[in-house]
Chain A
Amino acid sequence: MTAWKDSAGGRRVMAVLSSRPFLTVAIVAAVWIAASFASRGFGAYGHLRYLVELGAVIGLVAAGQTFVVIAGGIDLSVAAIVTVSAISLPLLSWGADPTGLAPVLAVLALTTIIGLVNGLGVALLRVHPMIMTLAMATFLQGLLIIIAGGSAVTAENPLVHWLGNARPAGIPAGVLLWVAVSVIVLTVMHATPFGARIFAMGANPLAAALSGVPVTPTTLAVYGISGFTSGLAGVLVLGMNGQGYVGIGDPYLLASIAAVVLGGTSILGGLGTYAGTIPGAILLVTITALITVVNASPGWRSILFGSLILGLLLLSGREQARR
């Protein structure tokens, strides 16, 4: 047994088994198995597929958030950006475009620019990321209220509708989108110099700068990515929902940060992986589903949700103090 553990392959297996992403996957599996015994219908294929579909929205928002957190920052404007995306898309009605692609690209460009502005504030004006993105969120919220008011806007965009409702080969289009984004994110994060720069900046910004890492462009890129993936999540949630309204993105702020941290990424930056964020996002929607099953009132649902996230983080997410 010990000989097996000491072999090179054995060590690699042990490393995977004791890694945080794997731990999060294990918790998700345990919760699913337990819940499907406790509640009829929970373990049905349709229900699990629905959970993953819901997880896709969190997963997209958390993709950008993972980049930002690994780089040593935090993006508190993701929820507002999701809402911006979901509200401005229906407003951009371009009858000339039968596919609906042009408005989607325009909205994604807009949200990416919002992210870049966050990056400018953080990198050039040296505003703390928390302040910068929180101010951005507040600014956007005000703008949205002025533009959209209290009314919901309906999307009549074929691409968005397809994304939210189609199931090619039985798999929801949103989930396929999430898979594609995940592949790209994991490649960029772990297999390119850009990814390595982000880890270096998060672990020690000063040493990274002195090693020649172009800190300003990299910071801009990271927040730009966060704006982009939040915008993508907004498009998806609009498609699933059919309507956009002020506040539609609100649940995704805490969810995106929780998914990142549950997945083992250090909130201090410099360590982590999107491979952990993915099960982290699914774990979050699973918890939400469980709470719904319990049939509690909305107030109690929130209290349960918050407590469970805190409990899970205490269980697995506490970090060692850094020297």
Chain B
Amino acid sequence: MAPLLAARGVSKAFFGNPVLRDVSIALRPGRVHALLGENGAGKSTLINLLSGALRPDGGTIEVDGREVSRMTPVHARQAGIAVVQQELSLTASLSIAENIGLGAYPKRFGLVDYRELAARAKAACELVGLHEPLSTPVGQLPLGRRQMVEIAKALYRKPRVLILDEPTSSLSATETKILTDLLERLRGEGIAILYISHRLNEVMTLCQHVTVLKDGTCTADQSLEGTDAAGLVRLMVGRDPGDLFPQWRPSASPATAISVRNFSAGLMHDVDLDIRTGEVLGIGGLVGQGQEDLLLGLYGAIPARTASATVNGASGLPGGVPKANALGLAYVPADRKREGLHLIHTITTNMMLPAFARLPALKLRSRRAERETARGLAAQLGIKGDLARQAQALSGGNQQKVALAKWMPHDPLVLLLNDPTRGVDVETKREIYLMLRAFAAAGKAVVLLSSDTPELVHLCERVAVVRDGRIAAMLDRAALSEEAIVSAAMGAENRKVAA
């Protein structure tokens, strides 16, 4: 039986950074195919290649065994390929029916045939157990119901290939059951399904075949029969850390820098946390479980509540970034282009901004002193070239160094880092790692939020694993391993992967 949709040896790079290398996958009718991999392993890119949203740099995409030279989203739709996206693609102000039919409205005399639309949308909704009135604006639905609308939207198009990107991450247990039953039935009807999930138990019960991606390469393409959750985790994370990480030496002291009880901010709630001086505390977990809100809440950038808090000796949360800065907190954001840097300003200005923020407003500046400070920071961090250039002229790694460097003159006591090595080249990663350990060794506290599990294992004294807005596990150095972090992040039973 020929695969309905297949990729053969596809590669894709963004800005010279390879994301997928020589990956093959074949979706066959009547089979639920699992696609597993860590954050950033290339899963979303592979889906985008299969659905024509991106074009591969190398390799081919085949539909019904025939090569498609230029796959586009339109071709994909005509070939019966439907994708349920992880980031919800619905329009909040349109109704359920309008969203489901969007782009494929039934027409009558050139106008939208709303009666026909309602009938067909209703059929799709019944499949997924969606009983809300079809005229309800999607914006009024809770997240889980919106996900069901998203799935109904895919079914409305009567797909032959259904790709679901983490469909259950926002679903309740009942909704998940409805979905798994539905997928089971669709499989029986001969539809090919690609299922991406971080919930290994679901994968084990629902899927028959698995492809595992790791750092953009395919590490497994096998039947799920005879595989257990622990084996899957090992396939996803097993890699050689090499000498990327500095020698680890304990430097934590018993003194606490930050201590919060019953802390809530954004998605995070009921957090009890002590951050010690001299430690690198890792924050791990799947993307978007609330980790970022924990950092931003501590930093005073988003509203936060707490039963009690001590921050560098002061009681209570700082409640505002300027106050947090005054208490010795510094924050390096994940999205440096959007949150970290002023791309149209010079490197020097970027480095001086925290100083401008806290100096008396009308004190006269000394351009010469600013240039000297910036030169010193650049030398210290190995940032080369003219500092009067705009920050956007720098490479990603050097931009990240600037985002870090600007806090250095203020000698922060606590450094809050949000995924500081995302999209950064290996050499810069190494430099950042050395800097973080040196910082901890100097008796400061470092909080390292990272989507890169090896980083957490090799740099941190302790790792708090966040799931569903809570700290699901606090792993000490002795218990720290990639397997332990990944299984805590996915809520897999610990005893299964205890090794």
Interface, chain A (partner B; CB < 8 A): 187-188, 191-194, 196-197, 199-200, 203-204, 206-214, 270-271, 322-323
Contact = CB atoms under 8 A, between A and B. Distances in A.
A271 B345 CA distance: 8
Given A192-B363, A196-B352, A212 B340 contact: no
Interface of B: 299, 301, 321-322, 324-325, 331, 333, 337-345, 349, 352-365, 392, 406
Given A193-B361, A196-B365, A208 B353 contact: yes
Contacts of A203: 342-345
16 contacts: A191-B364, A193-B362, A196-B349, A196-B353, A196-B356, A204-B342, A206-B338, A207-B333, A207-B339, A208-B357, A210-B301, A211-B354, A211-B406, A212-B321, A213-B353, A213-B356
Contacts of B324: 212
B365 A192 contact: yes
Given A203-B342, A211-B406, 4 more contacts: A197-B357, A200-B345, A210-B321, A212-B358
Contacts of A199: 342, 345, 349
Nearest to B326: A212
B357 A212 contact: yes
B206 to A, nearest CB: 40
B388 to A, nearest CB: 10
Contacts of A197: 356-357, 361
Query: Of residues B322, B343, B352, B353, which shows the largest number of chain A Cβ atoms within 10 Å of its Cβ?
Result: B353
A193 B365 contact: yes
A209 B363 CA distance: 20
Contacts of A212: 321-322, 324-325, 354, 357-358
Contact of B362 (A188, A208, A211): A188
Contacts of A206: 338-339
A72 B39 CA distance: 36
A191 B363 CA distance: 8
B354 A194 contact: no
Contacts of B365: 191-193, 196
B361 A192 contact: yes
Contacts of A204: 338-339, 341-343
Contacts of A209: 301, 321
A48 B345 CA distance: 37
A187 B361 CA distance: 12
A140 B327 CA distance: 43
Contacts of A323: 337, 343, 392
Contact of A270 (B325, B342, B406): B342
B354 A193 contact: no
B356 A200 contact: yes
B357 A213 contact: yes
Contacts of A188: 362
B345 to A, nearest CB: 6
A88 to B, nearest CB: 29
A209 B354 CA distance: 10
A159 B349 CA distance: 42
A207 B338 contact: yes
Query: Of residues B339, B344, B349, which shows the largest number of chain A Cβ atoms within 10 Å of its Cβ?
Result: B344
B426 to A, nearest CB: 25
B373 to A, nearest CB: 13
A208 B342 contact: yes
A192 B340 CA distance: 22
Given A209-B301, A214-B322, A270 B345 contact: yes
Query: Of residues A188, A199, A211, which shows the largest number of chain B Cβ atoms within 10 Å of its Cβ?
Result: A211
A194 B321 contact: no
Nearest to A206: B339
A200 B322 contact: no
A206 B324 CA distance: 16
Given A206-B339, A210-B331, A193 B360 contact: yes
A193 B359 CA distance: 7
A149 B114 CA distance: 55
Contact of A192 (B342, B344, B362): B362
B357 A214 contact: yes
Contacts of A200: 342, 345, 349, 353, 356
A196 B358 CA distance: 11
Nearest to B357: A212
Query: Of residues A197, A207, A209, which shows the largest number of chain B Cβ atoms within 10 Å of its Cβ?
Result: A207
A256 B342 CA distance: 27
A70 to B, nearest CB: 12
Nearest to B337: A323
A191 B349 CA distance: 12
Contacts of B339: 204, 206-207, 210
Nearest to A266: B344
Nearest to A214: B322
B109 to A, nearest CB: 41
B91 to A, nearest CB: 22
A207 B340 contact: yes
Contacts of A208: 342, 353, 357
Contacts of B354: 211-212
A19 to B, nearest CB: 14
A262 to B, nearest CB: 20
Contacts of A211: 321, 353-354, 357, 406
B143 to A, nearest CB: 24
A200 B358 CA distance: 13
Q: Which 9 A-B residue pairs are closest in the complex by CB-CB distance?
A: A212-B357, A194-B361, A196-B356, A212-B325, A193-B356, A193-B359, A203-B342, A213-B357, A211-B353
A38 B362 CA distance: 47
A42 B356 CA distance: 46
A270 B344 contact: yes
Contacts of A191: 364-365
A150 B338 CA distance: 51
